[in-house]
Amino acid sequence: KNEVEQSPQNLTAQEGEFITINCSYSVGISALHWLQQHPGGGIVSLFMLSSGKKKHGRLIATINIQEKHSSLHITASHPRDSAVYICAVVRRTSGSRLTFGEGTQLTVNP
């Protein structure tokens, strides 16, 4: 079993819909990243969080340390949100190295 599990693997939505991507992990962590990867490969860090909730524009990320679970929400989704969203954790015992989930391919149709 992977240390970081994401669901769903694929998600198709209509423009304007509210979207949730989930991430569960099985190890103790220092922090959790949500990353966005567009076709072509470049990765953008959306959030780094170790507790609570963060919001940036239409994106919201939450984490529950006790339940080892994080969610990424996108409100009022738009076709430009189409990308792969990746959850990555920093294990408490591994310094800075990131351990990644398999990613969620999001497609938002107009």
Name the site residues for another protein (rule: CB under 8 A).
Answer: 30-31, 33, 35, 40-45, 48, 86, 88, 90, 94-100, 102-103
CA 85 – CA 43 distance, rounded (Å): 9
Residue number with CB closer to another protein (44 or 76): 44
Residue number with CB closer to another protein (1 or 97): 97
How big is the chain, counted in residues?
A: 110
| Nearest distance, CB of residue 80 and another protein, angstroms | 18
Contact 36, 43 (CB under 8 A): yes
